[in-house]
Amino acid sequence: MFKVIFAFALTAVAHGQLAVKADLLFTMTGDLKPIKNGIVLCGEKGKIRAVGPASQVKIPKGYKTLTAKVVTPGIIDAHSTVGLSGILNSPKHDQEQLEKSSPIQPELRAVDAYNGRDPLVKWLRDLGVTTVHTGHAPGTLMSGQLMVLKTNVPSITSMKDTLIATSAVASTLGAKALSKSPGTRSKAIAMLRAELMKAQTRLHKIEEAKSDEEKDAPASNLKLDVLVDILNKKTPLLINAQRHQDLASALRLQEEFGFNLILDGAAEAYLLLDEIKAAGVPVIVHPTMGRPFGDLENMTFTLAAQLHKAGILFAFQSGYETYVPKTRVVHFEAAMAAAYGLPQEVALAACTIQPAKILGLEKNIGSLAKGKHADLALFDGDPLEMTTHTTGVIIDGKVVSSKVK
């Protein structure tokens, strides 16, 4: 791990112009190597004004200065259910992440259920997580929509409160998705194909109406309109699958219908590295410390390292579990992967810049560069050491969490 002596000093600042000084500054740009004695200047509009070594970046007069041993971009959780699944773990109070009345419900929107005031959101934010890709959980063929937003958003009163209001539709293949209907893997794929074929027909009618004024466009349909967006590559389909046969089915569906696919979980992806690489599909790795039973029985701690070696874009997630606490801390998952062969800078990249790329947000978040959002996580040591504390969190240039030790 990074060999540094831990110390931290923070002046709590909520507003205004900030300068952040770090013994080690991970910008997550270029070769991912840290800058020693680095500085980040946060401007008034919540954007980064300058970043670089102290010899090149001078702190202007009037700036408040924060100091930490290690600073990274704000941590990005590539897949979570936080805000829909809450800290109480009570189905009657804070478990909105999975609706089982029907196996295919892509019309369900995460924005309509999100509770940014749940203590679980604050818990993650205090640990350096500034952005979450959250929404409906794995568990049905199509459980609903996901979204991306910052962890300092208490309520979604406008779609502008999110970074992406509909970032993907969550789908599940494998044992989690099986019930009375579908009861088998073959039936599950047949049901998905049937819905996507309906969407193809609808898309054809929409295109015909655009080219022929005498033809009326079909009436709105909440479910099919979402699937049309998938076929149009406006919205990716995020398929949670662990077994190799389910991963192969996901790749076949993508080849048949041409949508943008994100593989989620992918415990046995090491059996299909060439196929995943050839398809150009990114992977959101299952929680590294997931429990190895059921569809996860063949999981390996080395999956992230194998994906990296194969040149496949991947990111870490906190995931979703049916037992308490239902979510994990994403950079702890990165730490475990680093202990099993993943280079440490790559482990940090997989919870910063790499999820930003998968989500199409790399121009704004995920790394520290001039003009990007001033989202930073401050640590009193190596972020991948379990004994390290997150001592400050900045979102859009404002301090949202401060813990002086």
Domains of the chain are 18-73+367-402 (2.30.40.10), 75-358 (3.20.20.140)
pLDDT of residue 403: 73
Rounded to an integer, what distance in angstroms lies between the CA atom of residue 140 and that of residue 157? 28
Instruction: Record the pTM.
Output: 0.93
Residue 50: is it exposed, middle or buried by C-beta count within 10 angstroms (0-12/13-18/19+)? middle
Contact criterion met (CB below 8 Å) for 314 and 285: yes
Contact criterion met (CB below 8 Å) for 379 and 359: no
Rounded to an integer, what distance in angstroms lies between the CA atom of residue 314 and that of residue 351? 9
Contact criterion met (CB below 8 Å) for 78 and 317: yes
Whether the ω angle into residue 287 lies within 30 degrees of 0, i.e. cis, is: no
Contacts of 89 (CB under 8 A, 6+ apart): 95, 324, 325, 326
Measured in whole angstroms, the distance separating CA 282 from the mean position of its chain's CA atoms is 12
pLDDT of residue 282: 98
Contacts of 327 (CB under 8 A, 6+ apart): 80, 81, 82, 85, 120, 124, 318, 319, 320, 321
**Bridge partner list, 38:** 22, 53
pLDDT digit string (tens) for the chain, length 405 residues: 444 333 333 343 444 689 999 999 999 999 999 999 999 999 989 999 999 999 999 999 999 999 999 999 999 999 999 999 888 877 777 888 999 999 999 999 999 999 999 999 999 999 999 999 999 999 999 999 999 999 999 999 999 999 999 999 999 999 999 999 999 999 999 999 999 999 999 999 999 998 888 788 889 999 999 999 999 999 999 999 999 999 999 999 999 999 999 999 999 999 999 999 999 999 999 988 888 989 999 999 999 999 999 999 999 999 877 666 567 789 999 999 999 999 999 999 999 999 999 999 999 999 999 999 999 999 999 999 989 999 999 999 999 998 744
Whether the ω angle into residue 182 lies within 30 degrees of 0, i.e. cis, is: yes
Rounded to an integer, what distance in angstroms lies between the CA atom of residue 321 and that of residue 325? 8
